[in-house]
Structure 1
């Protein structure tokens, strides 16, 4: 079964009469603590309701980049943290991040893991060099027997983000160029711009 997207999670919570983003950080933190405690004690299935809350917040922080209905734009470096029997961090890149994210969540879910934290870069022309640099640094710092390619078991999520920031300075990824608008899109954009300008222009008075 495919994991629920952010809009789908919001709809599911709405049916229950509440939305996580209206409950505050206290609820999220409590859900995270319960989930981790459940995995540590082996009783995670006892709290199946906390996993959607944790995943909701992870997806919410990703913003529109995680929207499966959004047209892919540029290349992205990403860092995903999964809670489970043996927590791990996945570092990768994709020119269709929303699709790749769903694939990772689907695969993780089959093995009893839950998306716990997630970060994605701004759209860049190419994230290949950035990804390679981050992976090289993490492989040097993390235990080899806890590393499997782009997967780092037991790695602290913040340590992965630290490596991302450090290597950004050296790699300096270039921002991706926006996709050119189609003729119809360009016309609509021009019309919308004219409407916006008209709202701010003073009325013309003919005497």
Structure 2
């Protein structure tokens, strides 16, 4: 356990439980069924809190939309599955399920359960240290995720040029009297067809949001 967490556990049974998938649940004499689902539930919330706090402190000039999207990219299931494999968590998992591509979510689930175990055993600060030092800093390329966040408009434009399509991105400013704050609305249009729409607190954000929707809902599948 120390090579993964970086410290010696206090309550080892918590960590053992973190790696028991529900397909290998243990039924106790009193009838209680033991597996990692409750720890996964807790770890999911703790992980979100840690990543949210980290991003809030690291990007003081960014708005809620940027922070939320970056967080979602960090903790998305495919990312957690890959991180768990790199950490070797899949080798510790107790399961009666074949771990093909369709069910690799159990790896990410176990990672979240491990975060929950660390939190219960050693508290929030130790859980934060574990997540940042053993997960985020080692396995997450923030610059790549940020570039991915900012690249959707370019991807749409490049696709249009390659396919010789007449795609335009229209943006307008909407002033909301009740908030006294302008909101920008963008639309990605291919002729008469709307590929994506998005809003934001800046023109750039609105265009990126609209382009992201267009990219995933239309361009990826065509």
Q: Structure 2 length as normaliser, TM-score?
A: 0.25
> Relative CO higher for 1 or 2, CA cutoff 8 Å, sep ≥ 6?
1
